[in-house]
Structure 1
């Protein structure tokens, strides 16, 4: 039987929204629509406020039987018993992150072929992300890497789960799938949606193995 991570196809990153009630409604709609993993990523939050927001995401994840992720902060991942700790290239190394959060899955961002192959071979990396495929407001100043990185990951033969990220929405998804991705991370496609549950359902239906 495959693990929840292996089964995961749709991953969303969100900020803390307009407040606790809005965050809870959004997270619940996403999980109900088929999102597998939700990461709270909000650099504006102080640690105490981030813990409060993470408690909401964790509660909804447990209700739905899904996964939730902490961005960068091993201390907050430990305090919330997070399923996933996601780190960037400039954050803790996967080994250090794993040593601090032994019960959490470790994810890592990759932005070029060398980083991607390194993550794919790293025993401490449980999944990695490739991108951003297109430049996005959520990563100001970071240029899009294009679909070649997705193609390289698809051809690498890695058994480590990986997700394409960066500017993916209903319009660009076909290109991403054609390049070889089977898992995606989205941000504005859901955080900016009037009906995130319905959008999540449509995205997930495109990602489910036939």
Structure 2
């Protein structure tokens, strides 16, 4: 049997410009697994995005590529319906095939020049950073559109990754980056005031919304506490 794959979708600069404008106003970024055991990914996304999530990323290391591409179709459709951005994690090939407006890379993933070589100028590119030097490098790189700082606290979604703590957040904030940046790692309603006091204005969350029985309310309560 011959397996067919979707043709790569165009990633054009005009689409990137629109996504960049949307990123400038983004404050709440959600990472979610595929929710395969619950079977409610689409309903969950509608609820979280209705509550005010600005960017949603499907991050599920247990998916094979075929299943991820299938689910990215759902993420793209729901995010577009709500006027939100959607991001592919780690995989430039999946981002290309899915036509993603955003692709996020960790420090151990493809370097920025390689991602741009594969994807061109169209999609926004995000980077994970875990030190002041890495944050400064992301800030200085014109090809990086946003970066995340963390994990602030140890979290089961990043096993083995040491927490960087709020001091790094304060140092990054004091450097006054012009690139949009997000605080990540263990951020929840109980810790949000500490994160904001340390200088962050944008956050990435996982369990604060995915673990809620009412994801729309959870998202709305977080979004209302973030700067306009």
Q: How many angstroms apart in 1 are the aligned matches of 2:112 and 2:225? A: 31
Which among 24, 35, 43 is matched to residue 6 of structure 1? 24
Which among 75, 79, 102 is matched to residue 57 of structure 1? 75
For the residue of structure 2 that corresponds to 1:68, the secondary structure is strand
Give, in angstroms, the shift of residue 21 of structure 1: 4.7
Q: How many angstroms apart in 2 are the aligned matches of 1:99 and 1:29? A: 36
Give, in angstroms, the shift of residue 208 of structure 1: 3.0
In structure 2, list runs of 5 or more residues that go unmatched: 1-17
For the residue of structure 2 that corresponds to 1:150, the secondary structure is helix
TM-score (norm 1): 0.96
Q: For residues 1-210 of structure 1, what are the structure 2 equivalents within 5 Å? A: 3-18=21-36, 21-102=39-120, 103-209=122-228
| Runs of 4+ residues deviating >4 angstroms | none
TM-score (norm 2): 0.89
Deviation per residue, 1:99-148 (Å, 9 max, x gap): 22221100000001111111111111100000000000011111210011
For the residue of structure 2 that corresponds to 1:3, the secondary structure is helix
Q: How many angstroms apart in 1 are the aligned matches of 2:156 and 2:37? A: 21
CA RMSD of aligned residues (A): 1.4
Larger RCO: 1 or 2 (CA < 8 Å, sep 6+): 2
Deviation per residue, 1:66-125 (Å, 9 max, x gap): 100000111110111101000000101122212222211000000011111111111111
